[in-house]
């Protein structure tokens, strides 16, 4: 989804309070579609999961207790925790788990052991996010299409095929970009929220006693009086806040004020009215629990409602797919995943990207989930655990940000985050019991992603250590070369170096085989920092080495586009010759050879070697002109 703000740097510079009313309105409408698309589809399945067969017994006290739990979960988890507290923890205007991880790790950088543990926890949370990204499109679209069973029970056998057709079409259009479709996200989701409120209001009017559930004593009494049943109920209630993590992830796109306005002005009231309407209908027609949401609607509105619900769930799915692209790109730039092919689908919006491998991997996993589980009821058991793990990890990161970055005293930190730890912990406990009913699926995806990410990170470290041990100091090497200098040829050579100060293998091969040295030589190291953006004034660091040679460091944030030729233009103003048509880029392409003993386990070394072999080329990732790139290979044993 294309954010309404074209330039992220301009968005950060413009603070939300200085935007015009029309800009705030546009951003608020955009936030309704992108930020709240996921949580807006939760009424399709949340209460149905709570009161399904064999779960919470259906009676007036239980209905009021569950409604109270839903309302106060929305209030505590979404309104207070995310909208009020966590939105304050912006990393140079950016949000999301990766931004929070960078913020927390920077806050404890003087505590190396603690920082390493935080990085592990944060990366695990990022890995589990991919499990969430698989379950959300599957359960959302499947829930919407299941409305056909209410309209025409004979269509039951077509539910799964129709769901697969909708999702297949969604994933096929990803390569064209989402700019045009994205403009419709806000209006369609706004209509969806209005419909949610309109569906719930008549039922609440018929039985206004459900509004007593606004009092928290119903939730407390339900949990204390029936703790075992309440634990089962909480496993479904948490589905009402799935998507809340998008509040923080989209902070950089919209800013705090539009996200808060969209929540308190439309999303929260509409969701509350719909849930209370569902509760009122349950009390009047308990037989409607099988497909509670669609049973609320009059028969004439069923087919339009199914169509609108499908659109809303596709929007929710699109937001997760786009987030998966963004998170993957950030993980690549922080060194936790190998380079993948990244296509830019817009010449105006640098954030609009398409990763074919991620796209079709998600698709395969989603199809597998739908075929394996077969219904939204079965998928609901698999859903909550991924969300609660991400929420608990976010709270953990927030604790360290509040304590070490904002410097608040421990008593206040404990008061601010301790309560949320309890809430998140209770919800996680309620979902742990569902591991064998389907919760294993997102955990398996998360564990697989965590293994891949840590294997890549450790493998890169081993390769770097081996190259460093075998490499020659650059300054010493150049001094020895210029004692009896080789033939200098016109033009500029840019040697990409992974470790600053070391002689690149590409230079050694060039001297050995071609026996020439370019007139101007740049030894360029690209560094990705644990912050989202690096200003252009800090992009290029230049150190003269003599003899028309320079050591260059290019700095990028994990949300910046690494464009080496563009960044090197700054070197021109400082006396370094970089002419586009006279510059060649030399890369060392290493072939990793797994060896027994030392390093990682044998299977992990083989896994890393396979990932390294299939990684996309550095030339494309760094935006190097393909007609001026020279790659020289070497073998590295780990």
Distances 36 to 241, 298, 320 between C-alpha atoms, Å: 10, 26, 11
Q: Tell me, what's the pLDDT at 343?
A: 84
Q: Determine the pLDDT at residue 148.
A: 87
Residue-wise pLDDT for 472-508, tens only, equals 889 999 999 998 888 999 999 999 988 888 888 888 8
* HEC-encoded secondary structure of 117-182: HHHHHHHHHHHHHHHHHHHHHHHHHHHHHCCHHHHCHHHHHHHHHHHHHHHHHHHHHHHHCCHHHH
With 0-12 CB in 10 A as exposed, 13-18 as middle and 19+ as buried, what is 111? middle
pLDDT digits (tens, 9 = 90+) for 145-156: 988 888 788 888
Helix (H) or strand (E) holding 461: helix 440-470
Residue 386 CA to residue 131 CA, distance in Å, equals 7
| pLDDT value of residue 499 | 84
Say whether pTM exceeds 0.75: yes
Residues 76-79: contacts with CB under 8 Å, at least 24 apart: 76/420, 76/423, 77/241, 77/244, 77/391, 77/420, 77/423, 78/39, 78/241, 78/244, 78/247, 78/263, 78/268, 79/263, 79/264, 79/268
Give the span between the Cα atoms of 41 and 193, in whole angstroms.
9
The continuous run of DSSP H or E covering 521 comes out as strand 516-529
pLDDT at 419 over 50: yes
Domain range summary for the chain, segments of one domain joined by +: 27-457, 472-637
CA distances from residue 446 to 141, 196, 440, 579, 594 in whole angstroms, order as listed: 22, 33, 10, 46, 26
User: Would you place residue 160 in the very low, low, confident or very high pLDDT band (cuts 50, 70, 90)?
Assistant: very high
525 forms beta bridges with: 553
Record the tokens describing residue 579, joined without a space: 């002419």
Identify the residue with better confidence: 279 or 561: 279
pLDDT band at 350 (very low <50, low <70, confident <90, very high): low
pLDDT category, 288, cuts 50, 70, 90?
low
Q: Average of pLDDT values for 310-339?
A: 88
Q: How confident is the model at residue 11 (pLDDT cuts 50, 70, 90)?
A: very low
C-alpha–C-alpha distance, residues 6 and 503, integer Å: 40
Residue identified by tokens 């923080």 is 248
Q: Which residue has the tokens 């698999």?
A: 382
pLDDT (tens digit, 9 = 90+) per residue, 45-56? 899 889 888 889
Question: Which secondary-structure segment (H or E) carries 550?
Answer: strand 549-557
Q: What pLDDT does residue 178 have?
A: 62
Cα angle 75, 229, 215 (rounded to 5 degrees) comes to: 35
The residue behind tokens 């692209």 is 325
Q: How many helices (H) and strands (E) does the chain have?
A: 27, 8
For the segment 43-95, what is each residue's pLDDT rounded down to a tens digit?
998 998 898 888 899 899 999 999 999 999 999 999 999 999 888 887 777 77
- Report which of residues 512 and 201 the model is more confident about: 201
Give the pLDDT score at 101. 84
Q: Which two tokens stand for residue 501?
A: 């100060």
Strands across the sheet with 540-546, in order? 540-546, 549-557, 516-529, 487-496, 583-593, 629-637
Structure-token match 């459900």, residue found = 210
Which tens digit of pLDDT belongs to each residue from 361-375? 999 999 999 999 888
Distance of CA 592 to the CA centre of its chain: 30
Is residue 267 scored above 90 in pLDDT? yes
Any idea of the CA torsion for 502, 507, 511, 517, to the nearest 10 degrees?
Answer: -110
Strands 540-546 and 549-557 come out as antiparallel
> Does 2 have pLDDT greater than 70?
no
Cα gap 161→159, rounded to integer Å: 6
Contacts of 469 (CB under 8 A, 6+ apart): none
**Domain covering 27-457: architecture:** Up-down Bundle (1.20)
Phi/psi at 133 (nearest 5 deg)? -65, -20
Q: What is the pLDDT of residue 378?
A: 83
């Amino acid at each position: 989804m294309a954010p309404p703000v074209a330039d992220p740097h301009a968005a950060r510079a413009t603070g939300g309070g200085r935007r015009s009313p029309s800009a705030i309105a546009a951003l608020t409408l955009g936030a309704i579609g992108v930020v709240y698309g996921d949580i807006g589809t939760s009424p399709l399945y949340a209460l149905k999961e709570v009161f399904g067969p064999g779960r919470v017994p259906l009676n007036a006290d239980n209905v009021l207790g569950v409604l109270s739990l839903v309302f106060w979960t929305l209030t505590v988890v979404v309104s207070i925790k995310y909208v009020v507290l966590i939105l304050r923890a912006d990393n140079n205007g950016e949000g999301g788990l990766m931004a929070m991880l960078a913020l927390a790790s920077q806050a404890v950088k003087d505590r190396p052991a603690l920082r390493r543990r935080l990085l592990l926890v944060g990366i695990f949370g990022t890995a589990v996010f991919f499990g969430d990204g698989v379950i959300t499109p599957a359960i959302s679209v499947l829930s919407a299409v299941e409305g056909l069973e209410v309209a025409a029970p004979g269509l039951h056998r077509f539910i799964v095929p129709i769901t697969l057709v909708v999702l297949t079409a969604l994933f096929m259009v990803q390569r064209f970009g989402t700019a045009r479709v994205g403009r419709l996200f806000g209006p369609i989701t706004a209509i969806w929220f209005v419909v949610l409120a309109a569906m719930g209001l008549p039922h609440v009017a018929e039985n206004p006693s459900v509004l007593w559930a606004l009092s928290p004593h119903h939730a407390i009494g339900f949990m204390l009086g029936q703790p075992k049943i309440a634990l089962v109920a909480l496993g479904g209630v948490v589905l009402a806040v799935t998507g809340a993590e998008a509040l923080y992830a989209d902070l950089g796109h919209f800013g705090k004020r539009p996200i808060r306005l969209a929540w308190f002005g439309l999303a929260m009231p509409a969701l509350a009215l719909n849930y209370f309407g569902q509760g009122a209908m349950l009390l009047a027609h308990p037989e409607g629990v099988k497909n509670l949401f669609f049973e609320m609607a009059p028969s004439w509105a069923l087919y339009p409602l199914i169509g609108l619900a499908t659109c809303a769930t596709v929007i929710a799915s699109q937001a997760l797919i786009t987030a998966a692209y963004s998170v993957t790109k950030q993980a690549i730039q922080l060194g936790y995943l190998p380079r993948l092919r990244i296509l830019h689908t817009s010449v105006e919006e640098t954030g609009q990207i398409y990763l074919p491998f991620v796209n079709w991997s998600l698709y395969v996993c989603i199809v597998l989930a739908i075929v394996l589980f077969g219904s939204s009821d079965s998928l609901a058991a698999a859903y909550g655990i991924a969300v609660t793990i991400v929420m608990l990890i976010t709270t953990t990161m927030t604790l360290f940000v509040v304590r070490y970055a904002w410097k608040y005293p421990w008593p206040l930190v404990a008061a601010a985050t301790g309560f949320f730890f309890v809430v998140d912990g209770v919800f996680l406990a309620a979902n742990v019991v569902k591991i064998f009913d389907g919760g294993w699926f997102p955990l398996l995806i998360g564990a697989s992603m965590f293994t891949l990410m840590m294997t890549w990170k450790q493998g890169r470290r081993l390769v770097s250590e081996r190259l460093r041990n075998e490499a020659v100091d650059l300054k010493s090497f150049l001094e020895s070369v210029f004692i009896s200098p080789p033939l200098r040829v016109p033009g500029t050579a840019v040697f990409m170096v992974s470790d600053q100060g070391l002689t690149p293998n590409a230079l050694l091969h060039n001297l050995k085989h071609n026996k020439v040295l370019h007139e101007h030589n740049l030894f360029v190291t690209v560094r990705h920092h644990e912050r989202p953006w690096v200003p252009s004034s800090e992009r290029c660091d230049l150190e003269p080495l003599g003899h028309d040679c320079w050591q260059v460091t290019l700095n990028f944030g994990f949300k910046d586009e690494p464009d080496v030729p563009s960044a090197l233009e700054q070197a021109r103003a400082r006396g370094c010759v970089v002419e586009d048509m006279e510059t060649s880029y030399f890369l060392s392409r290493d072939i990793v050879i797994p060896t027994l003993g030392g390093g990682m386990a044998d299977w992990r070394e083989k896994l890393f070697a396979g990932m390294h072999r299939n990684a996309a080329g550095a030339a494309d990732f760094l935006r190097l002109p393909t007609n001026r790139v020279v790659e020289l290979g070497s073998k590295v044993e780990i």
